[in-house]
Amino acid sequence: MQKFIEIEETKIFLTHPDKLELEWIGQEDVMIQLLASWFTDEEEPFPLNPRLIGKPGVGKTTLAYAAAQKLNQEVYIFQATMDTRPEDILITPVIGSDGNIKYVASSLVTAMIEGGICILDEGNRMSEKSWASLAPLLDNRRYVESIIAGVKIPAHKDFRFVTTMNEDSSTYEIPEYIHSRLQPQIFIDFPDSEDELRILQSNLTTVPEKVAKYIVSFLQIAHRFEENFSVRDGINVGRYAMKLMKKVPSFKQKEKEATQEAITLILGKEALNYCEELEF
């Protein structure tokens, strides 16, 4: 049965937390920065609302999820889009099985009520109108107001918020009054070669070490030329290379050829330019 609470005599149904198999590897400094922003005590009673900024695939969501795990709190992820409306991010009316309207809390509002952590993913894809509905939540008032449900919802003292933003995918400019509420800005860069190898090997447990090292060398060269190829791309290359070797006869026991074919089909033929001087 779906969990619900009553606020001002209005029944609000809650969503379930997200359960993911994610691990943050390396870059301990950004983990410390994020956890520090959420810290509270008698002298600092209010947490900050940080934003994680970086290129796609550098692990912003993974970092936020792993930080929440360190605090032993449930995680609720809300995926922002250009079409996100204020009611989507707060409370949505739906028709129940009995034909009556019921009010369903978003993952963000559920996190507020339950004292969890909300990750607002790709927040710079969301319009100002939707951000405006969160303004009182992101300052010391710590509440949201749903016009549709006719209720004002205060945040639990343990509620924490973080948004991720891609450096090169901003659809909307964040208004200044929201920008000032989303602090600090924590920048996440590509991992170094050692961490990148650890991440690949953690996700590609059956991939031979020399294949993983080849992919890391390729990625490190691409990083130097400011390509947006990420460790997530490297994981996909490794997975596809293994599939090619298992299922395509011409690639069996040809690890280098299969890896280069995977790079070509996932990242484009031009990506092979970064493999020219690499030894396998």
CA distance 55 to 53: 7
CA distance 198 to 217: 13
CA distance 104 to 90: 9
* 91 within domain boundaries: yes
For β-strands 151-154 and 143-146, DSSP reports them as antiparallel
What is the per-residue pLDDT for 172? 72
Q: Could you tell me if 263 and 138 lie in one domain?
A: no
Of 187, 219, 235, the residue at which a domain comes to its end is 187
Q: Could you tell me if 167 and 247 lie in one domain?
A: no
Q: Could you give the number of structural domains in the chain?
A: 2
pTM for this model (two decimals): 0.90
* 139 within domain boundaries: yes
Q: Could you tell me if 80 and 171 lie in one domain?
A: yes
* 92 within domain boundaries: yes
Q: Could you tell me if 65 and 129 lie in one domain?
A: yes
Q: What Rg, from alpha-carbon coordinates, does the chain have?
A: 22
Q: Could you tell me if 206 and 180 lie in one domain?
A: no
What is the per-residue pLDDT for 168? 63
Neighbours of 209 (CB within 10 A): 10
Q: How far is residue 167 from each of residues 57, 170, 188, 258, measured CA to CA in Å?
A: 11, 7, 10, 32
- Residue 153 belongs to a domain with what CATH number? 3.40.50.300
Q: Could you tell me if 225 and 178 lie in one domain?
A: no
Per-residue pLDDT of the chain (280 residues; tens, 9 = 90+): 688 888 888 899 999 999 998 889 989 999 999 999 999 998 889 999 999 999 888 999 999 999 999 999 999 999 999 999 999 999 998 887 777 889 999 999 999 999 999 999 999 999 999 999 999 999 999 999 999 988 999 999 999 999 999 876 556 788 899 999 999 999 999 999 999 999 999 999 999 999 999 999 999 999 999 898 999 999 999 999 999 999 998 888 899 999 999 999 999 999 999 998 888 8
Q: Could you tell me if 131 and 91 lie in one domain?
A: yes
* 209 within domain boundaries: yes
Q: Could you tell me if 101 and 197 lie in one domain?
A: no
Q: Could you tell me if 170 and 236 lie in one domain?
A: no
The amino acid at residue 16 is H
What is the per-residue pLDDT for 251? 86
Of 140, 156, 187, the residue at which a domain comes to its end is 187
* 280 within domain boundaries: no
Q: Could you tell me if 197 and 249 lie in one domain?
A: yes
Supply the range of the domain harboring residue 247.
193-275
What is the per-residue pLDDT for 47? 96
* 152 within domain boundaries: yes
Q: Could you tell me if 204 and 263 lie in one domain?
A: yes
Of 187, 204, 231, the residue at which a domain comes to its end is 187
Q: Could you tell me if 125 and 174 lie in one domain?
A: yes
